Structure 1
Amino acid sequence: MSSTAAPSRLTLRSFWHDLPREGKLLLSVVVFEFIGTGLVLPFNIVYLHEVRGFALSDAGLLLALPPLIGFLVVGPGGAAIDRWGARRILIGALSLQVAGNVVLAFASTPAIAAMALLLTGLAFGVSWPGFQAFIATVIPSELRQRYFGVNFTLLNLGIGIGGLVAGAFVRIDHLPTFQAIYLGDAASYLPAIFLMTVPLRHVAGRVEHHDETAAKVGYLEVLRRPAVASTIVVGFVSSYVGYSQLNAGMPAYARAVGEVSTRGLGFAFAANTLVIVLLQLVVLRRIEGRRRTRVIAVMAAIWAVSWLLLGATGTVSGTWAATMLVAASASVFAFGETLLQPTVPALVNDLAPDHLRGRYNAASSASFQLAQIIAPPIAGFLIGHHLDSVYIGTLVLGCVLLAVLAVVRLEPQLPAHVNGVREAELVADPDVVPEPTPKTRASALE
């Protein structure tokens, strides 16, 4: 589904008015679901190590299970989405999340914790491509970029609220407080399960395949398509210099090099969330109708500034200025996030044909997850061996590479509507890749 028609000018009221009923229902549970995520996200290592008493090395290995399992199952998960429909797969994934968190709440041994995290890892691997495919089924192309942006705002709002509630509630010396937040996380998935099984039971069922060849298209055939391969490479690089570093490299660098306190780190991540909540709608207005590849390039430049700010903490280690620089780095990074989150998911789903939507989203998800597996050990090695300048330099160079890949490599391969260009811009700019004819569109997608 695609359109070059411009939707109404973006305000929250106009966005809500333009959304189909199914989109409104999906957005209505986002904050609640991610409040649950926010309850436990800052405290997983604390719970396993300090509350349950597992060795720190064991806790680290346990927390590596979900992304690893997720990466292993994302390929079969994408094929399952295309075969049985996103809704059925999501019901299974959400149910696994509920079960995993309930088991984790009562995990008195590392083996039980491993079982719980195995369940959440299975869910993790299929839920991201499942939700992306589901959203693309119910949200028309011209609204997807807006939808993904608003969804990201609500997601961060929920995580922020959950983190604040859990921070005020949990006590290291009182196990039931930690059990309560994991049970709360389990309960946060129940509204989404209800939506999938009752109001939205008619949506995103099994995809109709018009011929057997289309139904059996594999990942290698998908990746041989130039625009897809380039999109996957852009996704991998953006994940490596982006979220993989925010979640692992930035805290490690801030602690080891900047000597920033844990409270200072909490302040930095709170600033990150606040920037996203405040700026996402403004950014959505500014990027509407612009080439998505150019938006990615601007994001790469912003992230390069973020990493330079982080690198500057080493010049004022152990001071209040170092804390402020880390907070500034996280805030600037958040500005880049507001450009990324509406853009890449919309690009992937505008590129994907309906019968391969699960595989396209799974391939995109795998590229992000692979970077998250690779990046933390590299960051740990460089920071642990006092190669601080090398670490920051590689991230800045990675951002430059990302911008070049987006504009020089990916942009010429994208049809105009996939790159976010509207009909008016097509007439004004002869360099935009033209829309394919029905014949060439069919040959590209089948």
Structure 2
Amino acid sequence: MTTAMGAALRRIQLGNALSAFGNGFTVPFLFVYVSQVRGLGASTAGVVLATFAVAALVVLPFIGRVIDRRGPLPVAVAGTVSAAIGSMGLGLADTKELVVAAAAALGAGIAVVQPSLATMIVWCSTTATRSRAFAMQFFLNNLGLGVGGLLGGQLVDTSNAGSFVRLFAIEAVMFLVLGATVATVRLPKAPKVEDAIPSDRSAGGGWRALVADRAMVQLLVLGFVMFFACYGQFESGLAAFAVDVTRISPATLGMALAANTAAIVLAQFVMLKLVERRRRSRVIATVGLIWTAAWLAAGFSGLVPGAHALATTLLISTYALFGLGESMLSPTMAPLVADLAPTRLVGQYNSAFALVKQLALAAGPAAGGMMAGAGMYAAYIVLLIFCSLGITVLALRLGRRLTPAQENPLRHTVVQRRVPSDRELVAA
């Protein structure tokens, strides 16, 4: 990696960490803010949360092509401006219409920023350094969210709407800081995407080429199951199971969420060293097994109501195991998307993966909430165990379609350096 690329990557990571810090100020308190502080009711708060997903689903199918045509930098800046307007709008809005409109601007802005930043990281890294770059992004995101949530909890006052205005103002400023930071980044003229060849060279551009890429389609299916089975359950089915079946208090649930963040922060770089020289499909398959153990622990926590300490330990272990799996995925999934993408379609591939993530994050809470509402907790745990085992099966099947460079770019690079060229052989 050149010095210029390293400097650009550091700026991107810094801006991303600051925006995550600002986001952490508001995310844990959004439902309470809309329903209670602004007095708009739980139904309006639910509509606001749904608006985030809808806004993302509206913009993501189109934003990839814009990134590939215009470049990720101007798109990222536009996204941060939209997110800042939406965030400040949420802080000032006092009617249902204004709150929903602000949530749409914020949701669309964040949805635009995510694939743009991912594409910028791809442009400023190589196949050998990409895993570390995305692992650092994930680490800083979680650290920023955790610290922001901790400080936000100290500043918030449900009896004072002005305290929430302050939180949303901080978030808006952090988005603008992100925009200003990435605006100063000097990107290379072309992305450093080696060994990125579409499966079907006769296919057209955009979505047509992506759909023709069977490895990418399999990765998208895998990604949907993955986000559905883990991330989509944190604030819906799993939280309801913890409170209604395991019988833990909301305060203990907060400890479990903290355990998830702590596992990510503490294990991220240890996991990076363990997985960066191993086959990516095998790493993802291992995550499926870890998450299977997590769901089994959650299920057993509901079977020992008389042993509250054991049940609580099992439930907290569930969240910690999820965090361990997440720390293995961060240097694996996003770099694999980049290494599958043709050079001209890096933005398209990143936005497609972000779209699948949003679909899963919409379907996951809906399914989990419905099953929890119906009291189908046993079926719920069984479903998620099968989804986690499905991750393992899908990952191993995906591995059959990956090239050695896509499976393990770091080891492939080392092997290439050791193999002498024809000219060297002739000289010898």
Could you list the per-position Cα deviations for residues 401-436 of structure 1 after superposition, in whole angstroms to 9, with x for gaps in the alignment? 1111111x2111111111125238879xxxxxxxxx
Quote the Cα distance in structure 1 between the aligned partners of 2:203 and 2:399. Answer: 28
Identify which of 145, 150, 159 aligns with 2:131: 145
Matches within 5 A, 1:15-414: 20-198=6-184, 200-202=185-187, 217-317=205-305, 319-407=308-396, 409-414=397-402
Does the C-alpha gap of structure 1 residues 29 and 193 become closer, same or farther in structure 2, counting only changes over 3 Å?
same
Per the alignment, do residues 424 and 377 of structure 1 end up closer, same or farther by CA in structure 2, a change over 3 Å counting?
closer
AA of the residue aligned to 2:263: V
**Residue deviations 1:310-347, cap 9 Å, x none?**
11221244934433322111111100000111100000
Letter in 2 for 1:232: L
Judged with a 3 Å threshold, the aligned counterparts in structure 2 of structure 1 residues 67 and 204 are, in CA distance, closer, same or farther, namely farther
C-alpha deviation, 1:229, in angstroms: 0.9
* Unmatched tracts of structure 2, length 5 or more: 193-200, 417-428
Moved more, 30-39 or 229-238: 30-39
418-427 or 75-84: bigger deviation: 418-427
Matched to 1:31, the amino acid is: A
CA distance in 2, matches of 1:136, 1:348: 10
Q: How many residues align?
A: 406
AA at the equivalent of 2:60: V
1:444 corresponds to which residue?
none
- Mapped partners of 2:335, 2:254: distance in 1: 31
Deviations 1:38-79 (A, max 9, x none): 111110101001111111112101111011110121010111
> CA 1:393 to 1:24, structure 2 compared with 1: closer, same or farther past 3 Å?
same
The DSSP-based 3-state class of the residue aligned with 2:235 is helix
Q: Kindly provide the amino acid, as one letter, of the partner of residue 252 in structure 1.
A: A
- TM-score normalised to the size of structure 1? 0.86
Question: Alpha carbons of 1:201 and 1:19: their partners in 2 closer, same or farther (altered >3 Å)?
Answer: closer
Tell me, what secondary structure is at the counterpart of 2:400? helix
Alignment identity in percent? 31
- 1:255–1:19 distance in 2 versus 1, CA, 3 Å: farther
Letter in 1 for 2:174: S
How much has 1:173 moved relative to structure 2?
0.6
Which shows bigger deviation, 22-31 or 348-357?
Answer: 22-31
Conservation of the 8 A alpha-carbon contact between 1:40 and 1:182? yes
Deviation at 1:227, TM superposition (A): 0.8
Shift of 1:365: 1.1
- The amino acid that maps onto 2:355 is A
Contact kept, 8 Å, 1:33 with 1:189, in 2: the verdict is yes
1:315 counterpart SS class: coil
Q: Which moved more, 1:188-197 or 1:161-170?
A: 188-197
CA distance in 2, matches of 1:206, 1:274: 34
Q: Runs of 5+ in structure 1 lacking a partner?
A: 1-6, 8-15, 208-212, 428-446
Closer, same or farther: CA 116–56 of 1 in aligned 2, 3 Å: same
Q: C-alpha separation between the residues in 1 aligned to 2:327 and 2:66? A: 30
How many angstroms apart in 2 are the aligned matches of 1:18 and 1:287? 27
1:197-228 per-residue CA deviation (whole Å, 9 max, x = no partner) reads 23x15557999xxxxx9996131331121111
SS for the counterpart of 2:406 is coil
Cα 1:205–1:424, aligned 2, differ >3 Å: closer, same or farther?
closer
> Are the structure 2 counterparts of residues 40 and 317 from structure 1 closer, same or farther at C-alpha, using a change threshold of 3 Å?
farther
